[in-house]
Structure 1
Amino acid sequence: MHPPKLLDQVRAAIRLKHYSSRTEAAYVQWIKRFVLFHNKRHPNGLGAAEVEVFLTHLAVADHISASTQNQALAALLFLYREVLHRELGAIDAVRARTDRRLPSVLTRDEVQQVIAHLTGTHALLARLLYGSGLRLLECLRLRVKDVDIERRALLVRDTKGNEDRVTVLPNALVEPITDHLRAVRCLHVADLARGYGAVYLPDALDRKYPNAARDWVWQYVFPSDRLSVDPRSGVVRRHHADESGLQKAVRAAARAAGIPKRVSPHIFRHSFATHLLENGYDIRTVQELLGHKNVKTTMIYTHVLQRRRGGLAVRSPLDG
């Protein structure tokens, strides 16, 4: 029997670590590019010097962003540590330029204008992104058990930093989210009647709790409108809604509202943080709600506030 191919070994190692399918796809793509860049030589015959050359090429020739270069480095470090069981040591590549631009933010009026041009679930999603400061995928991955109506709270899992956090559920959304969940439950009951109704469970919980996948509490708050085949297991399931639907709807809503900014669902998170600071909430509270590990990440919104207020909110001596 032939040993498994390199990329199959990578996929197996990633799944053993319970990384997401998105991380798997990204890592496999970077490792494949690395091998092709070095004329299909096996990575066992390559080392830190070849990794440095590849990363430098990405920064200098391909003009990738710093975050993309870091993702490529993470993929290659995973390859050597977890698959080839080798340490690369220090990597001294030319670093991609860090993007220092301030995030775009909507005014309160602009937020309402965009939402007013959305309908149905898209409108509810946008209001939740703005009202709770969620990233789009964090919102789409919410489970029924993560919505605490009584405490007006959302438990956010599968975060960017892979750490759970609690954020606010706006009072204004209690009734809409309750009505929405009632409709989702009817859909789930219909799926069960057809022999489906199972949902993906993280961290091999489906083996530990065989019946949990069909429990109401584990269902997605925002399920897809169709069943699909899980690419890893081959099981037919109802996954969460695809993010592209809201992305397209928000762009169209911003155009219809005549807002001259680049508007995506993520702008609601930026606006949430900025408006909280405008309301007098301290930076640590905002950091906790956003789930930032370092307060320096949250501090960018203080710069956004300064820009919105004009200059540094300082009275010029020319004005007397």
Structure 2
Amino acid sequence: MDGKPKLLDQLRDQIRLKHYSIRTEHVYCEWVKQFIRFHQYRHPTEMGAAEVEAFLSDLAVRRNVSASTQNQALAALLFLYKQVLRLDLPWLGEVVRAKKPVRLPVVLSVAEVQQVLSQLQGELWLIASLLYGSGMRLMEVMRLRVKDVDFARREILIRDGKGMKDRVTMLPQRLVQPLKQQLAVVRALHRVELEAGRGDVYLPFALEKKYPSAPWEWPWQYAFPAAGLSVDPRSGKVRRHHADEKRVQRAFKRAVQAVGICKLATPHTLRHSFATHLLESGQDIRTVQELLGHADVKTTMIYTHVLNRGGLGVVSPLDR
């Protein structure tokens, strides 16, 4: 053996070099494994456009995956060939991406949001209220750190959001006191952990090396920490991570069912509702775009199609 790292280890190294998330790392590694397994464990250097197309076709035809899942698999394979194997192959740009259907987002009415929130308590209520009150994504709330909440300005700074972009959104006045109470509970827990010789959290990129004591400092703690300790999959360190988003998803699903709403609503629906209700109240679409962190206003404009009276405000002849 020449001591060269295994293909998946090389893939992980490149993903971490690009500062991709741990979720992207898991997903890309899984797609590469499926691709190799599909072609009877041939090495990717022995394959090309035909094999990639065959794999993607199998996903669509036999496994009936969505266009976004198919494109995710393609992105993983393109990353493998370009960034890991360093193969500048002409066919890479010719592989056809599946066309994603344009779907209108599911939106709850103001009354429906109130009904769902009334079914939640404590930390779960606060997380769901932040999703609706600030337009944050679920993982943005989960990863929220103490230092990024500005009570004086009633703002929340979202670090490394989708596309590794920072942005600022609002902190609703109604949530100031509940969030302060949540942080008081977390601070008490943090003091206990420090006394026990623990209390450190994960820091992104190389910040842990740059600021060695930062993982134990209060400003870097998660606003919504997990109930127990866990092993960091990259460093192997045992420490407290942020709360599990699946707990929020399960509680939200139960709440929607409890109030008899038939829409396929998830916690992300609260973000859609935030945008739609702001536009309904006459808020400028550019402002909504900035609050949501959309790179293109066209993405935000989809919410104009789900307003109460439609994007053009057309009245049905039956209602005249």
On whether the aligned pair clears a TM of 0.5, the verdict is yes
The equivalent residue for 2:24 is: 23
CA–CA distance in structure 2, aligned partners of residues 79 and 311 of structure 1? 42
Deviates more, 1:116-125 or 1:63-72: 63-72
Shift of 1:316: 4.8
Is the Cα contact below 8 Å between 1:196 and 1:236 reproduced in 2? Answer: no
Change in Cα spacing, 1:224 to 1:150, as seen in structure 2 (3 Å) is: same
Q: SS at the partner of 1:25?
A: helix
Which 4+ runs in 1 deviate beyond 4 A? 316-320
Is the Cα contact below 8 Å between 2:19 and 2:205 reproduced in 1? Answer: yes
Is the Cα contact below 8 Å between 2:304 and 2:310 reproduced in 1? Answer: no
Residue identity opposite 2:63 in structure 1: D
- After superposition, residues 1-320 of structure 1 pair within 5 angstroms as 1=1, 2-89=3-90, 90-93=92-95, 95-305=97-307, 308-309=308-309, 312-316=312-316
Is the Cα contact below 8 Å between 1:56 and 1:93 reproduced in 2? Answer: no
Residue identity opposite 1:140 in structure 2: M
Change in Cα spacing, 1:49 to 1:317, as seen in structure 2 (3 Å) is: same
Shift of 1:203: 0.9
Residue identity opposite 2:116 in structure 1: V
Is the Cα contact below 8 Å between 2:294 and 2:300 reproduced in 1? Answer: yes
Is the Cα contact below 8 Å between 1:229 and 1:236 reproduced in 2? Answer: yes
The number of aligned residues is 318
Q: SS at the partner of 2:226?
A: coil
Gaps of 5+ in 2: none
CA–CA distance in structure 1, aligned partners of residues 83 and 157 of structure 2? 31
Q: SS at the partner of 1:98?
A: coil
CA–CA distance in structure 1, aligned partners of residues 306 and 311 of structure 2? 10
Shift of 1:263: 2.0
Aligned sequence identity (%): 62
CA–CA distance in structure 2, aligned partners of residues 73 and 303 of structure 1? 31
Change in Cα spacing, 1:280 to 1:6, as seen in structure 2 (3 Å) is: same
Change in Cα spacing, 1:319 to 1:233, as seen in structure 2 (3 Å) is: closer
Q: SS at the partner of 1:67?
A: helix
Task: Compute the RMSD of aligned alpha carbons.
Answer: 1.7
Shift of 1:318: 6.8
Is the Cα contact below 8 Å between 2:67 and 2:99 reproduced in 1? Answer: yes
| TM score, norm. by length of structure 1 | 0.94
Shift of 1:7: 0.9
Is the Cα contact below 8 Å between 1:276 and 1:286 reproduced in 2? Answer: yes
Is the Cα contact below 8 Å between 1:144 and 1:218 reproduced in 2? Answer: yes
Is the Cα contact below 8 Å between 2:49 and 2:95 reproduced in 1? Answer: no
CA–CA distance in structure 2, aligned partners of residues 30 and 96 of structure 1? 16
CA deviations 1:220-242 (Å, max 9, x no partner) are 01000111111211111100000
Q: SS at the partner of 2:156?
A: strand
CA–CA distance in structure 1, aligned partners of residues 318 and 242 of structure 2? 56
Residue identity opposite 1:27 in structure 2: Y
CA–CA distance in structure 2, aligned partners of residues 91 and 69 of structure 1? 16
Gaps of 5+ in 1: none
